[in-house]
Amino acid sequence: MKWRCRDRVIDLTRPVVMGILNVTPDSFSDGNRYASVEAAVERAKVIAAEGAAIIDVGGESTRPGAAAVDEAVEIARTVPVIEGIAAASDIAISIDTSKPAVMAAAAAAGACIVNDVYALRAPGARAWAAASEVGICLMHMQGEPRTMQDNPHYDDVVAEVCEFLARERNACIEAGVDREAIVLDPGIGFGKGLAHNLTLLKELSRFAALGAPLLVGVSRKSFIGRILGRAVDERLYGGLGLAALAVIGGARIVRTHDVAATCDTIGMVSAVLQGIDS
């Protein structure tokens, strides 16, 4: 299994880690810690050294209630960081955005992946993705970040999320996006209640059966805190348990703030499931 991302092919024979690098002042977990270019690039070096295959750079918070950011601000936050990472490391760089202008600026700076919580539904996004040949991650979200947790409702959360991801993947392919450039994300915590999140994680194999690599992000999510009674900076062990469960369920990419611990966790799970290379 592989992920085509411009001139790079990411091997997904074994699951890999996508390290989170938020360069926003209002991220729920690490807001303002990496607001300077220098701090962000240094953090990226640590993420790479800890074993991540991908760094996901985000310039707009998608936590519930976060303020919207215009594309000029998002570009100003992310592009210098991407340029700095590209100069310092050969790691694959992802841009976490839904705006085509930000996608284009990030790709010009060195990003080879677009991670889009809106699944490339913005006008022009699919056509740009097809022409640029970037790798893309299509995520499901009910509603939009500012209001997505206002009483989300599903009749059958697994069936509805599967249907959405299959439909949007087909729309991208019809627009000219390479089938092997697409990975899918069920959007744990995005427009879902506690029971929805647990059901999606329990039924991950149904998403893996869609025929595209599966990305899962559960790191430090609020539902971990709700179940375990832990603050944001105390959710590591809960997140590692879910990362292991995600890999067992078929995830090939695990998105996380806690790179070293997650690499160890999924490495051991992978060794049990697939054996070790001789």
Catalytic residues: 221, 255
Could you say which DSSP state residue 67 is in? Answer: P
d(CA 112, CA 178): 14
* CA angle, 135 then 138 then 144, to 5°: 135
Tell me which H or E stretch contains 86. helix 71-88
Query: How much helix, strand and coil, in percent to the nearest 5, is found in the chain?
Result: 45, 15, 40
Q: Which of 67, 59, 140 is nearest to 97 (CA)?
A: 59
Question: What distances in angstroms separate CA 10 from CA 26, 72, 181, 258, one per listed residue?
Answer: 31, 30, 10, 21
Strands (E), 97-210: 113-116, 135-139, 182-185
Structure-token pair, residue 142: 């009910």
Tokens describing residue 118: 């809106």
Query: Could you give the CA distance from residue 37 to residue 80 in angstroms, rounded to a whole number?
Result: 7
